[in-house]
Amino acid sequence: MYQVEEATQLADRVFQMWITAPQVARHARAGQFLVIRAHENGERIPLTISAVRGDAVRVIFMSVGKTTEFLSTMKKGDALSDVAGPLGKPSEIEKYGTVVVIGGGVGIASTPIIAREAKEAGNHVIGIIGARNKDLLILEDEMAAVCDELFVTTDDGSKGIHGFAASVLEQLLKERKIDCVWIVGPAIMMKVTSNVTRPYGVLTFVSLNPIMVDGTGMCGSCRVTVGGETKFACVDGPEFDAHKVDFDSLMQRQRMYVDEEKASVEHYHHHGGCGCCGGEHR
């Protein structure tokens, strides 16, 4: 069992959880993820490692499905059944020069650990974080502390720059030499933003979030098309060269089980969010 060290809400439906997991914390690197099972009858879900603190690791998630809704109800002192990790390949961080780390929405969760490692590697780090509005922005202070420069954007202009991260990135590319870019967020956001760096030939990484089950490359559910080849996000990624990713295929696969996911949440609510089985009475 893995104890919840801290659990708080960061924004509307967005929660952070610190989990005591010494073995994971000891080896965790930027870009890697965990597979969590809340209880013995629960499903396995992947969550990116957002930070490490002593023997604990932090995950940040949005309550959108049955399991994340259940996780959002957990408190300090509660315990998770399983935490497997760190999984996936670490971010390809080295001394590039000037790098930009971009997070959109809940994808901001992955940016501080990347920015911190990039800074430690000797890079000048520029952060860009964006959300639909100011109430959905997370980790602004944390990113400001680790980045040399930080730009904040909101779709509605309620805070920072009125617009999208892609526009800020495009302006930066016009003004100075950018050597490497990381983008983490919704698939459509990563597609649009990575297209901005394409004409400049800037190395650009994206962290992909396809449907995933086992996290070890055996089930094949997380397959993505990169450079015309089939890759498994869990073992070949989750980070890939953005300019080689087939985002249209990724987004199509992400929509495959929308009806089933909706039915699962309804079933969970119908049974009162049963903690012993996640709403799945057997």
Residues 42 and 111 in one domain: no
Q: Rounded to whole angstroms, how far apart are CA atoms 251 and 185?
A: 13
Range of the domain at 83: 2-88
Q: Rounded to whole angstroms, how far apart are CA atoms 14 and 24?
A: 23
Q: Is residue 130 part of a domain?
A: yes
For 115, how many CA atoms within 13 A lie in the half-sphere containing its CB?
Answer: 29
Does residue 276 have a known ligand-binding role?
Answer: no
Residue at a domain's end among 68, 88, 108: 88
* Residue 264 resides in a domain: no
Q: Is 180 annotated in some ligand binding site?
A: no
Is the pLDDT score of 280 beyond 50? Answer: no
pLDDT of residue 199: 96
Return d(Cα 208, Cα 224) in angstroms, integer.
9
Is the torsion defined by CA of 171, 108, 161, 151 positive or negative?
A: negative
The mean pLDDT of 121-129, rounded to a whole number, is 98
The closest alpha carbon to 240, from 210, 196, 200, belongs to 210
Q: Are residues 72 and 114 in the same domain?
A: no
How does pLDDT run across 58-114, given as a tens digit for each residue?
Answer: 999 999 888 898 999 999 999 999 999 999 999 999 999 999 999 999 999 999 999
- The model's pLDDT over 254-269, given as tens digits with 9 standing for 90+, comes to 776 565 666 666 656 6
Sheet with 45-48: list strands edge to edge: 45-48, 33-37, 82-87
